[in-house]
Amino acid sequence: MKAAIISALVAVAFAQQDERLDLDKGKSREEIGHQVVPGGTAPQIQQLKPRFQAYNKDVKRTKVRYGPYTLPSTKSTTLMSLISGEAGTMSTIAIGMKKPCDTCGLVTLQAALEFPNGTVADNPQGAWLHHVVMVASGTGRSDNVCGTWVLPGERFFSSGNERTPTAFGDVLGNKVKSVFPISPADTFLAQLELMSLDEREKPVYLVMDYEYVPGPRPADYKIAKAMWLDVTNCGISSVIPQKGKMQFTLNSRAWTSGFNGQLLGVGGHLHDGGMMVNVYQNDKVICKSTPKYAKTAGGHSHGRRSETHSLARRDGPEAADGKDHIKEMTTCSMMGGLTKGDKIRIDAVYDFNAHEGGKSKAGAYTEVMGIAILYAAADPPAPAAAAAPAASATPAAKSAKSA
Ligand SMILES: *[C@@H]1O[C@H](CO)[C@@H](O)[C@H](O)[C@H]1NC(C)=O
């Protein structure tokens, strides 16, 4: 069981999120409220300055630090480095993670790594957040696509080293209001893989930056749900390409929506050689998520990945090998309505002639993937009074209902 959980969560690092959510840009860490304790350990819980009051005037923002985890030396041999063939990687499952609240509705969530003293641990400091996938577990929770048979709850967030915030509502347009509701029955766990780019072993904390509406979900807010769409369906995400095939398309099964609501956003994940992830709603393409390829050797590196480290690996900082590697994927947002019974599926298109795929030392093509995480906002269930047939039978009941 545990092996199944691990393999189903491993190896996803992608940018399905929106850069425009980074409203902190231009502010100092101090202004935002991040605490640094030179020579010591920063507090586990820190209140930060909220960003989305226009979305909900009561929003609060809490940072929780988990760990410490030891980033291994790139020289040491960990179990994970043997499995992945990458130096300096470690993988673990965090359980019973402290929540930002007992009852609240998540608006945004962002992952990061910090040193014990509270300063940022990122690529230039030799720390790489390979991926983290968070699961909400507890009464009534199950994966929206796979149910309970393979996972202990609902996968609701994932991040790679790009560390972009994920939104659980239309926080930029303010047209559709929704939150990811958290209740006292929920427990959080995460599968994470960290990678060191440095020979020195060092402790780091996994950091989650939660922005949320305190208390129960406002009655007119929809319920955010994440759907993990994968060409291996509820499998391990990895596909070994067929020998000799240079062009191929991988298809997922359809997920059938059990609710009415709004599509919030989606973005794909591919490995090198990938051309696009198409997302279909009832056989019509609603998003074509395409990769941006870039060379690092001699070229200019955009974004947060620095050129100071040059280790060849999957999903890691790009090798300075003069070849194209996927840097990021385009995303789509606010793609329209979702109706109960709608069928959503994806395909992943590969062409190794257009972009070379990853290769093992022996020259064979290595694992590829086709994944998209879709966020949707489900209409809240009708109020109990309206659903009960006898509720509006008497004038008294009617006035009680409108009170
Ligand atoms: C915080 O810790 C990191 C890693 O040990 C160190 O490089 C940095 O100088 C420290 N910063 C402060 C302000 O103490």
Q: Which residue has the tokens 């298109």?
A: 349
- What's the CA-to-centroid distance between 29 and ligand 1, angstroms? 14
* Mean pLDDT score, 194-205: 89
- What's the CA-to-centroid distance between 31 and ligand 1, angstroms? 19
Q: Indicate the top mutation candidate among 117, 200, 205 to test ligand 1's pocket, ranked by most ligand atoms within 8 A of CB.
A: 117
Q: What pLDDT sits at residue 238? A: 85
Residue 247's pLDDT band (cuts 50, 70, 90): very high
Cβ pair 325, 294 in contact under 8 A: yes
Cβ pair 136, 80 in contact under 8 A: no
Give strand ranges (E) for 115-153: 127-137
Q: Looking at ligand 1, which atom is closest to the CA of residue 36?
A: 13
Identify which has the larger pLDDT, 85 or 145: 145
- What's the CA-to-centroid distance between 121 and ligand 1, angstroms? 9
Q: Looking at ligand 1, which atom is closest to the CA of residue 117?
A: 1
Cβ pair 51, 24 in contact under 8 A: yes
Contact 38 CB / ligand 1 (< 6 Å): yes
pLDDT over threshold 90, residue 390: no
Angle at 262 between CA 257 and CA 263, to 5 degrees: 80
Measured by CA distance, the residue closest to atom 5 of ligand 1 is 115
Identify which has the larger pLDDT, 66 or 313: 66
Phi and psi at residue 116, in whole multiples of 5°? -50, -40
* Mean pLDDT score, 356-381: 88
Task: State which of 4-13, 170-179, 281-290 shows the largest mean pLDDT.
Answer: 281-290
What's the rounded Cα separation, in Å, for the pair 241 and 350?
10
Measured by CA distance, the residue closest to atom 1 of ligand 1 is 117
Q: Which helix (H) or strand (E) holds 269?
A: strand 261-270
Contact 234 CB / ligand 1 (< 6 Å): no
- What's the CA-to-centroid distance between 306 and ligand 1, angstroms? 19
Per-residue pLDDT tens digits for 291-312: 888 775 332 333 333 322 323 3
Per-residue pLDDT tens digits for 129-180: 888 989 999 888 989 998 876 677 898 988 877 787 888 999 988 999 999 9
Contact 363 CB / ligand 1 (< 6 Å): no
Q: Which of 113-127, 354-368, 389-403 has the lowest mean pLDDT?
A: 389-403
Q: What pLDDT sits at residue 4? A: 32
Contact 336 CB / ligand 1 (< 6 Å): no
Q: Which residue has the tokens 């067929």?
A: 242
Q: Looking at ligand 1, which atom is closest to the CA of residue 118?
A: 1
Q: Which helix (H) or strand (E) holds 274?
A: strand 274-281
Nearest Cα residue to 118 out of 197, 8, 29: 29
Angle at 234 between CA 291 and CA 378, to 5 degrees: 80
Phi and psi at residue 396, in whole multiples of 5°? -60, -45
Q: Would you give the distance in Å from CA 233 to the centre of its chain? A: 17
Q: Looking at ligand 1, which atom is closest to the CA of residue 39?
A: 14
